[in-house]
Structure 1
């Protein structure tokens, strides 16, 4: 009877956890942006949604009171608001980081072709449905521009012939150990929470020796332009089941970032050993060239309160009434811990057969 009761309690707990995940609202990576033009002091405000891959602004316009015809007032008012929105959008897009060292405005200065393409995309930005507001001579509308697609095609670097090779000079510890994933991974999730990583269009993954593991130059450019080099999420549970990784049937390779790098802090740093594991797993499943990579950013989740668990009493009969209420002290979010434990089990190295180990040593 007692075992049945405890089993029921644990079953209810895990059902609650599953419902909690399903009921979670998406928590996109949104960064408000304010750009101040130094000579004039004009301020451009906008919003970068790195999860949806969009940049949006709101333009404002006014019409003089001497314009009395209602149709003319409306046309002039929204025209003024759209011109204001174009100006703001160009300022905000110019500040978008392409990589850890370059912004879109830098690329526009360096290339007239890129400047012309970006300016053309800005003037072709779509009006956000329902954003047009008219009130007492005050007009407002919103514009939105996709960071992926044409903008990425204009500013992302071209792809190279091939990515980095597996290093020949493996350390001795790796010479007798071979990393073989139990099953091919469907994508890579980099947990960069707790760092000050800034999103960009073309971030890199590098290891602590400086070796580049993942960059826009190593991927299929078609995927990079269409879906972005990486996706950004705030919630780990949402990241591991995102459509980019494979949805509910995803099998993500979960890796912890140990640091960040680059002038604008947009590159994630992993250990050298983990960098090699990422390359080997990517060669088997091809998820790197198809940009099936997600960065999880934001603050590190605080440890949850202790979880109450039932433990056997040291004396007396083993009945539910005599059970003692113990405390488990998990580190980090409980659901995160489940994912991290699974990832740890997946990344444990398998010892190579003697003949294979001998070949590696040679």
Structure 2
């Protein structure tokens, strides 16, 4: 029994180290580097390094190394917290700024990182130890740091097949989040405000009949944009085309609102957007954190038409290309 437990533990550690190695060596993703670690925005993995020195009063080499290892892990987790604080939730706030406003969030984040995965421990010739720890931005941490006040799409559970056939769908009032999304899809008239009764007809977007799109790639290279956990895509009038109101909270937490890459061709073949993504160009980046992307009205209208019958936005199938 003990041997089986030891074997399972060894397999878990090997799997974790392999995942870390693959995540950090993947040059196709967008990696944001810091003094003591990095954020891989493709895999969602945040890693940090810490160094611990052996105490002068250690009774033997074994105790010295054990205490140095413990110190290195403590420092690495402290550095991990500092990196996490600098991660942008959206264009308005970082995780650190959000933690300042909420004591419960600060306590929860600190407690979560206290149990972060140890990916590597290296013993140096001078007796010091270097430890690498990491945590995913997705899943449990995202559940903590993405504000509950952020609007997400309410996805109703599907009825059983027989119920769908026998019961007509009732008329429902739109939720606050879907109402906001619908309202934002009306392009604003920037020349002269007019009433809906006299508003000019909008030109129909150019969408090929039967066009199937499996995801979206936004080329934001050269725009000065920065990555965020919850980016937005807006049109030239500031109306939201893609954002939290169009996806379920579950998808956003488990997969992230978007993946990031450094090259359009590499972004197009990522599993997130599968095999037929639409590629659009970002005109600029906006917001305090420069993570909201502006696209042309023509591309915005095309996306609105496509997402009426296709669900790639709901499933967060979006890749963003940054410098």
Q: Decide: shared fold, TM above 0.5.
A: yes
| Structure possessing the higher radius of gyration over alpha carbons | 1
> Match for residue 28 of structure 2?
27
Superposed CA deviations along residues 160-199 of structure 1, whole A, max 9, x for unmatched, are 4426224388986844666345422111111111211100
The answer to whether the 8 Å contact 2:138/2:253 transfers is yes
* Structure 1: segments with no counterpart, 5+ residues: 1-24, 35-44, 299-362
Distance 2:130 2:188 in 1: 61
Bigger Cα displacement from structure 2, 67-76 vs 92-101: 67-76
The answer to whether the 8 Å contact 2:188/2:237 transfers is no
1:159 aligned to 2:137? Answer: no
Distance 2:93 2:205 in 1: 39
Distance 2:216 2:263 in 1: 15
Distance 2:187 2:129 in 1: 64
Secondary structure of residue in 2 paired with 1:260: strand
Distance 1:209 1:70, change over 3 A: same
- 1:233-272 aligned at under 5 Å gives the runs 233-246=261-274, 250-272=275-297
> Match for residue 162 of structure 2?
none
The answer to whether the 8 Å contact 2:49/2:132 transfers is yes
Distance 1:168 1:271, change over 3 A: closer
> Match for residue 251 of structure 2?
223
Distance 1:293 1:116 in 2: 32
- 1:1-362 aligned at under 5 Å gives the runs 26-34=27-35, 45-129=36-120, 131-156=121-146, 157-160=150-153, 161-162=177-178, 164-165=181-182, 166-167=185-186, 174-175=202-203, 179-246=207-274, 250-298=275-323
Give the count of matched residue pairs: 260
Secondary structure of residue in 2 paired with 1:253: strand
The answer to whether the 8 Å contact 1:64/1:137 transfers is no
* Structure 2: segments with no counterpart, 5+ residues: 1-25, 154-176, 190-198
- When the two chains are superposed, the root-mean-square deviation of aligned CA atoms in Å is 2.1
Q: Normalising to structure 2: TM-score of the pair?
A: 0.75
> Match for residue 16 of structure 2?
none
Superposed CA deviations along residues 106-140 of structure 1, whole A, max 9, x for unmatched, are 111111221122111211111114x4324322111
The answer to whether the 8 Å contact 1:181/1:281 transfers is no
Distance 1:291 1:176 in 2: 25
Q: Normalising to structure 1: TM-score of the pair?
A: 0.67
Distance 2:127 2:116 in 1: 24
Distance 1:176 1:97 in 2: 36
Bigger Cα displacement from structure 2, 274-283 vs 256-265: 274-283
> Match for residue 174 of structure 2?
none
Secondary structure of residue in 2 paired with 1:122: helix
Instruction: Using the TM superposition, give the Cα deviation of residue 251 of structure 1 relative to its aligned residue in structure 2, in angstroms.
Output: 1.0
